[in-house]
Structure 1
Amino acid sequence: MSPDLLTKVILPISLFLIMFGMGLSLKLADFKQVSQSPKAITLGLIGQMLVLPLIAFLLAIILKLPPEIAVGLMIIALAPGGATSNMFTYLSKGDVSLSISLTAIVSVITPFTIPIFAAMSMTFFMENSTQFSLPVIKTIIQLLVITLIPVALGMFVLSRWPNLATKLENFLKWFSVFFLLLIIVLIVLKNKDNMLNFFAEAGLATLLLNISVLIIGYQMAKLAQLSHAQSVSIGFEVGIQNGTLALLVAGTLIGNEVMMIPAVTYSIIMFFSGSAFGWWISRQKSK
């Protein structure tokens, strides 16, 4: 997982296309969800921007994770949701409009928050014991270029050529899931001799993080008396993160292969835990 073709070329290009595909599904009217459902949006933002990183931080301390693994866990917790969370919400009959709105809003915020809090995490967990650093301003600019610009381009294409945008969006929605799986397969094949060690170091932490925040996000919404569909959306938005972006931050922007490990284990686990969570909430609704 050293800086190579994967981290320098494939990850940035794939993330650009994924964010472009997200833009193809967004209209300015979608952001009106903020005023139409302020309670749901606010709760979703609290869950994703505050509760999720806090849970990751506590797990890193309680499990006494190695410093670079701890930072990698924080990076995946700081990432926004993505096409995968939207897909799980759709398949589980959640509020897709709310899911897309939350993904879009958080994706606008995180280019600013990830560099700041990732740098703080490196200072806290790693102190002065590493040669790796994260230039905050440069990283913010890089993330803006690779996330917000393609989203804006996608929204422009949708406004001018809606039929073309619909066709492209349907393709890129599945492309994003496929490409994340492809990236994970490439990383696993490249590091097949070390995968058991990777799961030994980060598997439990990412599993506990993923399961706990899926349930916490859903239960927060239920306690706030939101609808079942809105609760499903918030559960997935808090619990399913953009693994591609986390891999890019750790592997490309920071250039630390060890920090990529939590993003790899998380991205593998989330497909199974997300499916199990979808089955569980469908049983909750039937009851």
Structure 2
Amino acid sequence: MIKLKRVSNFLTNYFTLFVILVTLLAIFMPNPGTLLATTKIGHLSAVSILLMIVLFGMGITLAPTDFKRVAKNPLQVILGTVAHYVIMPLIAFMLVHLFGLTGAAAVGVILVGSAPSGTSSNVMSFLSGGDVALDVSIGLLSTLLAPVMIPTLLKLLAGRWVKVPFSSMFFSAFEIVIIPIVLGVIVHTIFKQHVQKIIEVMPLISQIAILVIILAVLSANSHTILAVSTLILIPVVILHNLLGYSLGFLFSKLMKMDIPQQKAITFEVGMQDSALASTLAISFFEPASAIAAVIFSVWHNVSGSVLASLWKKHSEKKPKTSPAYTISPEN
């Protein structure tokens, strides 16, 4: 188990590098990833099953007390979740029109903007000295709302480019997102202390699953990944993420939240569950609509790490006059 934890820590520290390596592998050796992207097990794609494993891992780290924490202090959690589902979709819509995107590219950007908060934000919030409990709570609520919010936002913002199968997308998102999380919580509740070993190894399994998802999505689009129509998505994704951070931070300032809460809201607004976005893109739309999500996955890990590092250094320069914050376990 100790060796697995070391491997997990190593993968976490160099995750962005591994994402880049997987990207190169998908471009120059696309066959294995393409096969994975087109493989189905029953009615579910292999990519969907991988994402379900990731979300089961999230669920198994949760206990009923985590839900009580949301209920105990709901206002900030609700405000953060509303900010996320207002700011990121509207930025996506604005950028699509600003850059003149249409078709699969436009749908992909708006799909990323409509996704719930990314789990990477929990790590970034922890590293920066943010309010991790608030961060985790917002991430949990936004994820639970995803089956309703994603098809609703897509229909409103991307309906001119694609027909959104609302009911099919709702039930698919429910199956992929809610069921694994609920099963994870049930397993945690029933077996309690006995699941600790599983919890310790789940981050490694989740990281590997996300890398394989990226490999599958990029491989399926390897013939277009270097096309001009694809490269234009890079500045769009970068702006999407950075504007999300900026407006999330501004929103938390306007709500007069304290500094740890401002950091949590910033990461929760600006970082997206790009794995879910790419999975739904492959399942319901053209494969090319998943490219924006994969680019976002690479970029927000880079930008999040840099921002967390800058915030941490800034905090270390200040005299420590405020009381220490208790950090809850990561999910």
Q: TM-score, normalised by structure 2?
A: 0.77
State the match for 1:165 in structure 2: 195
* Alignment of structure 1 residues 34-53 onto 2, 5 Å: 34-53=70-89
Q: What is the number of residues matched between the two proteins?
A: 280
- Taking the aligned partners of 2:270 and 2:278, their CA distance within structure 1 comes to 17
Gaps of at least 5 residues in structure 2 are: 1-33, 319-331
- 1:63 maps to which of 92, 99, 103: 99
- Taking the aligned partners of 2:101 and 2:40, their CA distance within structure 1 comes to 26
1:149 aligns with 2:165: no
What is the one-letter code of the residue matched to 2:278?
L
- Taking the aligned partners of 2:216 and 2:71, their CA distance within structure 1 comes to 42
- Taking the aligned partners of 2:174 and 2:218, their CA distance within structure 1 comes to 29
- Taking the aligned partners of 1:231 and 1:164, their CA distance within structure 2 comes to 36
Q: CA RMSD in A?
A: 2.3
SS of match in other structure, 1:226: coil
- 2:307 maps to which of 270, 277, 280: 277
What is the one-letter code of the residue matched to 1:28?
P
State the match for 2:159 in structure 1: 123
Distance 1:224 1:119, change over 3 A: closer
What is the one-letter code of the residue matched to 1:203?
I
- Taking the aligned partners of 2:55 and 2:165, their CA distance within structure 1 comes to 23
- 1:227 maps to which of 258, 268, 284: 258
- Taking the aligned partners of 2:127 and 2:205, their CA distance within structure 1 comes to 17
State the match for 1:183 in structure 2: 213
Aligned-residue offset at 1:260: 0.7
Distance 1:189 1:256, change over 3 A: closer
- Taking the aligned partners of 1:57 and 1:236, their CA distance within structure 2 comes to 20
- Taking the aligned partners of 1:213 and 1:47, their CA distance within structure 2 comes to 10
- Taking the aligned partners of 1:232 and 1:76, their CA distance within structure 2 comes to 21
1:240 aligns with 2:274: no
State the match for 2:325 in structure 1: none
What is the one-letter code of the residue matched to 2:97?
I
What is the one-letter code of the residue matched to 2:136?
I
Q: TM-score, normalised by structure 1?
A: 0.88
Tell me, yes or no, if the aligned pair for 1:23 and 1:153 is still in contact at 8 Å: yes
1:4 aligns with 2:38: yes
Taking only the aligned residue pairs, the percentage that are identical comes to: 27
SS of match in other structure, 1:260: helix
1:196 aligns with 2:226: yes
- Taking the aligned partners of 1:282 and 1:5, their CA distance within structure 2 comes to 43
Once the two structures are superposed, what CA deviation does each residue of 1:53-81 show, in whole Å capped at 9, x if it has no partner? 11111111111112321111111111112
Gaps of at least 5 residues in structure 1 are: 127-131
Aligned-residue offset at 1:172: 1.9
